[in-house]
Structure 1
Amino acid sequence: MKKFLLWIAICLPTIAWSGDERVDIARFSRGDMNGWQKKSFSGETRYSLDNSDGQLALRADSSATASGRYREVSVDLNKTPILNWIWKVGGILTGNDERTRAGDDYPARVYVVFSGGVMFWRTRAINYVWSNQQPIDSRWPNAFTDHAHMIAIESGSDRVGQWVSERRDVRADYRRAFGEEPGHVDAVAIMTDTDNTGAVATAWYGDIWFAEK
């Protein structure tokens, strides 16, 4: 996690988006992978476009691996603070304590990254995760770095196999996590990872966008 944040901060030539009503980040439903890049940590989670229940999406298959996809962006949260996305998981991980390093794995997670500009050591991220047992809307610092904050958006197996739509006020989540105003969003990333637990997980990621309230 920490290496990922530092790497993005150093290598980030951000792309500015026009308009203040909707900022499209991922258009996987159109088969559009433009701008999405790969970052590996431990082995390769396989990502591929897949039609699932009539929805074209990016499928992720992890088997004791951890790699993600990210897109460099520049999003002004004063204009478009609301992050929207849809996702689905094939199952949850069981038995892992996600607040520990040994258990820091998730079948699906969406990162919002704030690089801190030239002060790369201030790189921060909000991680929206599908938890195995943490209560929905619970939050905790990442086990590897306090620069990343975890929020359980879904929890448990009740909605496994279902497409689920999510909506989060990123600006409000950042304020609560770090006690200050956020800068621009500099990247959005997705990752299905099971390297710490050695488990197997499958997830599907649909479209992702920022919007006004």
Structure 2
Amino acid sequence: MLFSIAACTHTPKSTDAMATYPSDDVSGIDDDEEIAAFSQNQTDVLSAEWEPMLINRNKKRTEYTVVSDQGRKVLHARAAASASGLMQKLDIDPFLDSRLTWEWRISRLVESADNHDRAREDAPARVILGFDGNKDNLPFADQIMFEAARAITGREIPYATLMYIRARKAPVDTVISNSRSGRVKMIVVATGKDGVGEWRAFSRDIAADYERAFGEKPGRLIAVGVLTDTDNTGETVEAWYRDIQLTPNAPIPVPETAR
């Protein structure tokens, strides 16, 4: 599954498996822009900051709604042989706001999923980050891929995409490369049946995770998204997402003896 950063004002022209989310033209967006909180919705209508993220115009879309859970608004996703997500445009220096925190809950595992296998690459829950960068420094094959994607969709794709995923069996902290592009990496943050049906909280240093996945420092964070998908396996799964937040990394305490 190859993710492209593109404005989501229309459906992509191609039937290739490319998602669309925001353009890396981020002029007019402030550095201090925050990720829109699902909990702040006063109704069941999602705030306008979250836009559709399409994988393929011929694929069935995952259903996303705002629901009440334990007295607070959360995002509910239901995928039934479907694949689409939601995204928000950002323009943030990940070294200033580099800790990403969120909570999710899943109804069940995608039992036949395998994120190492293109034909079974599904996940009940994902949080997705898109990063800017200088594509001229990439290998020629990657540049050709970017140009082909732009010709097909009419939009730019991100320099790099980092996904945090809920896996079926891959060990936690495994880094998985997308089968179509090395510019998309997945990091497993939860796996197996432990915690299925329960709210689980996560806190990740996204700058450190990016460096481990791509072997370089990240550019500006230009998009955040969520995705629950079962288009490859044909299964049905539900997920719930609480607020996704970016906060500065806490300073490391200095021992008294070192002062």
Normalised by the size of structure 1, how large is the TM-score?
0.90
SS where residue 26 of structure 1 aligns? coil
Asked if residue 25 in structure 1 is aligned to residue 40 in structure 2, the reply is no
Can you list the C-alpha shifts for 1:17-43, whole angstroms capped at 9, x where unaligned? 454xxx631300111623111022221
- Is the contact between residue 177 and residue 186 of structure 2 (CA under 8 Å) also seen in structure 1? yes
- Is the contact between residue 9 and residue 115 of structure 1 (CA under 8 Å) also seen in structure 2? no
Can you list the C-alpha shifts for 1:39-90, whole angstroms capped at 9, x where unaligned? 2222110000011233311100000010010000011112111111111111
- 2:177 and 2:24 map into 1 onto residues whose CA distance is 24
CA offset at residue 202 of structure 1?
Answer: 0.5
SS where residue 124 of structure 2 aligns? strand
Asked if residue 12 in structure 1 is aligned to residue 48 in structure 2, the reply is no
Q: Relative to structure 1, is the Cα distance of residues 81 and 34 closer, same or farther in structure 2, using a 3 angstrom cutoff?
A: same
Residue in structure 1 matched with residue 82 of structure 2 by the alignment: 65
Can you list the C-alpha shifts for 1:156-199, whole angstroms capped at 9, x where unaligned? 12111111111000100111111111111000011000001111
Can you list the C-alpha shifts for 1:107-136, whole angstroms capped at 9, x where unaligned? 000001014377683621111001111111
Can you list the C-alpha shifts for 1:94-113, whole angstroms capped at 9, x where unaligned? 13221011111000000010
- 1:107 and 1:183 map into 2 onto residues whose CA distance is 28
CA offset at residue 9 of structure 1?
Answer: 7.7
Asked if residue 180 in structure 1 is aligned to residue 201 in structure 2, the reply is no
- Is the contact between residue 9 and residue 123 of structure 1 (CA under 8 Å) also seen in structure 2? no
Asked if residue 125 in structure 1 is aligned to residue 124 in structure 2, the reply is no
Indicate the structure (1 or 2) with the bigger Cα radius of gyration: 2
**Counterparts of residues 21-170 of structure 1 (less than 5 Å):** 24-31=34-41, 33-41=47-55, 42-116=59-133, 121=146, 123-170=159-206
- 1:50 and 1:35 map into 2 onto residues whose CA distance is 17
Q: Relative to structure 1, is the Cα distance of residues 47 and 64 closer, same or farther in structure 2, using a 3 angstrom cutoff?
A: same
Asked if residue 209 in structure 1 is aligned to residue 219 in structure 2, the reply is no
Which one scores higher on RCO, CA 8 angstroms, separation ≥ 6?
Answer: 1
SS where residue 25 of structure 1 aligns? coil
SS where residue 166 of structure 1 aligns? strand
Q: Percent identity?
A: 32
SS where residue 102 of structure 1 aligns? helix
- Is the contact between residue 142 and residue 149 of structure 1 (CA under 8 Å) also seen in structure 2? yes
Unaligned runs of 5+ in 2: 7-19, 137-142, 147-157, 250-259
Unaligned runs of 5+ in 1: none
Q: Which has the higher strand share?
A: 1
- Give the number of equivalent residue pairs: 209
- 1:98 and 1:78 map into 2 onto residues whose CA distance is 29
Normalised by the size of structure 2, how large is the TM-score?
0.75
Q: Relative to structure 1, is the Cα distance of residues 57 and 117 closer, same or farther in structure 2, using a 3 angstrom cutoff?
A: farther
- 1:96 and 1:155 map into 2 onto residues whose CA distance is 12
